[in-house]
Amino acid sequence: MLLIDVDGPLNPYAAKPQRRPRGYQTHRLLTPRWEATERHRMEQWGLPDRRVKPLRVWLNPDHGPPLAALPFDLVWATTWEEEANAFIAPVLGLPALPFIPWPSPRPDPPDGVFWKTPQIGAWAEGRAFAWVDDEITDADRAWVKAHHDGPALLHRIDPRIGLVPDDFALLTQWEKSVAGPGTHPRACTA
């Protein structure tokens, strides 16, 4: 499985606002979850009638074909959850993908572990997975190594750049190392 975060890997949100990275297109997206969150925030600020601004999201439609070509079962591992299928997948030309549902409120694991990491470990249930996210650290790698029985690749993506060809090459190489020679890529759980 390849677990994909949206903000960072697919949406290089940390790039300079006036310099959209090459190949990316600007999308203004008003998802139901974003609208509800912003409307709640405005009510708390005493501005209940203020218009909710859509999110500025940069997406590169050229990411869809290489993602689909990777020898993995793709899964959303993003706070966009099911909304990634409605708003992100169509731009990339991807089909609807399974997604990891996150608990609310978000847990706060100890020792600098990212809140998604234990949830991903529980969701993977020992199956091989690669995960691309902009918030992965060595603390997360150590946690997965100590708590996950299957092979795992936690690959941090620079949120100023997003996915690049070297990332796709690394994912393919890792999957081949997990699958072993002569193994059909989709037969492996990686």
Show me where the domains of the chain are located. 2-15+61-187
Residue 185: pLDDT over 80: no
Residue 119's closest CA among 87, 71, 82, 76? 76
Whether residue 181 has pLDDT greater than 70: no
Average pLDDT over the chain, rounded to whole?
Answer: 91
Decide if pLDDT at 188 tops 60.
no
Q: What is the pLDDT of residues 114-152, one digit of tens each?
A: 999 999 999 999 999 999 999 999 999 999 999 999 999
Its pTM stands at 0.89
Which has the minimum average pLDDT: 33-42, 52-61, 126-135, 171-180? 33-42
Is the alpha carbon torsion for 15, 19, 21, 24 positive or negative?
positive
Q: How confident is the model at residue 23 (pLDDT cuts 50, 70, 90)?
A: very high
Q: CA 22 to CA 42: how far, in whole Å?
A: 34
The predicted-structure confidence for 43-96, as pLDDT tens digits, reads as follows 887 877 878 889 999 999 999 999 999 999 999 999 999 999 999 999 999 999
pLDDT at 187 over 50: no
- Work out the percent of the chain whose per-residue pLDDT is above 90: 75
pLDDT tens figures, 152-168:
999 999 999 999 999 99
pLDDT value at residue 184: 41
